[in-house]
Structure 1
Amino acid sequence: MTWIAALPMYNVTPALDLEWRAWLVDVLRRVKPACRVVEPDEELHGFWRRPNLLLSQACGYPLMHGLHEQVQLIATPRFDAPGCEGAHYSSVLVTRADAQFDTLAACRGARAAYNQDDSNSGMNVFRHAVAPHSRAGMFFSAVLRTGSHLGSLRAVADGRADIAAVDCVTFAFVCDALPELARKVRPIGMTATSPGLPLIASDTVPPATIEALRDALNETLEIQPERAKRLRLQGFSVLSLADYDRIGQLEDEARAAGYTHLA
């Protein structure tokens, strides 16, 4: 079996993509068996379920909606970014820099943008934040699915939407690498926190290899601290699926308030 690995998240620029790839290559050099870094050639739900997946990033929402049955948790990164608390993160609620909105409550009747229906940071925590303000399951006048956090930021910046929830790590990278885009938007709040994007492996990967991967993750931070700083990586925590139950809790609280989807 040829093992594969990919890091499909947080590549907000080509330069940052190269940084992540170089870090991943260094991690894999410390682990046997040999593994090939790839670009996912299918939608991520299928890619994450590949039996030869040695290492990848996933979103916590699909993890807790079936993916956990076919993968193992390796670790969860701890990022140095506003809105992160250890291995937990939140999303930044952003509007246009010149918009009149100063709070989420003031956005009633505005237009929302979000990345994907199964995103924890772009949809689930956003829904949870809006739920207390909704009336009969409604709050926004229109909702736009953009396909990515970067797409949501651009929709807000370009005036196609008024508010979006953006993973705080992504937003920190945008501030670092795309300052002109960051200047076009303005944070007006933060969502609740939940466990960050997990690093996963197929359930076919042996336990000894999982432990070797965990060791390699931390070793790569120690040997190149400047790169770790650019990637905003502080370390890794080993969380359980029970920790990720927090994501379902946020979903349940929104549904209990009668707000089942962004609307």
Structure 2
Amino acid sequence: MKLSLALFSSVFCDTLPYDTQCTSIGGTCTDYRYLTCIAGYATGKCNGDNNRKCCLPCDTSCQLKEESDSLNDGKCTSAGGECKHNTNYCNGYYSSGLCGGGSARQCCKTGSTNCELLTYSNTWVKGYNGLTVKIDQGFKSAMDTMNNYAGQCGVTVYVTHAFRKEGQEIGGTVVPPASHSNHLTGHAIDMNLDTPRGWCNSSCLAAESNTNAKCFTDKIIANAGLRWGQSFNDPVHIDDNLWYSNSNTWTDLYYKHQNSCS
């Protein structure tokens, strides 16, 4: 790896106003698709769209460590991959155990992906209009719980959105995707309910006037491991609060699924 790729060249680094959360820690905001950053990228610290991320500073010691780590990258390079911090853009998917250095240095491979999302369907939870519901395997128990609640309340949960890619255009959402949306890691769904009293969409869910639907959402509220979006004006949304309960796991899953799944 050439260290010059990760240095803060003015050719690539298009600093804009309000990037101070990044610059104050010695970083540089840039489009992460075009610059490999040795120390990795931090999200949420730069102005602009989701592709502008904060390239963290890499001093002389950091650069020397990268040179040393790269001596053990043979398994990756022989497979046609490139070792780099897994917060960097990868036009393919990351594999672990093939690179020198810490666990964050992973092998970016192009070609066929290694997506580990699960396809979910159950008796009382289904994809709306034939949607294939993709979730992280760590969210399956939450989905099974929702399926049980739906059966107890006599409703069918029709999932309208589950895992989604960063920047994906979503029609009919109640609010814009959050910067740390749990949808981006496969730990959230948007849904409507089919009930004995009729179809229950966002307005119906918010009003809590449909007793079967309210039975279901009351059970979600009572479960400490689940979060109903009514509290932030998104009544069709349910997640397991992953970002706020374990941001490190959220970040690991974000890069894993965003780089490997479509």
RCO higher in 1 or 2 (8 Å CA, sep ≥ 6)?
Answer: 1
TM-score, normalised on structure 2? 0.29
| Greater gyration radius | 2
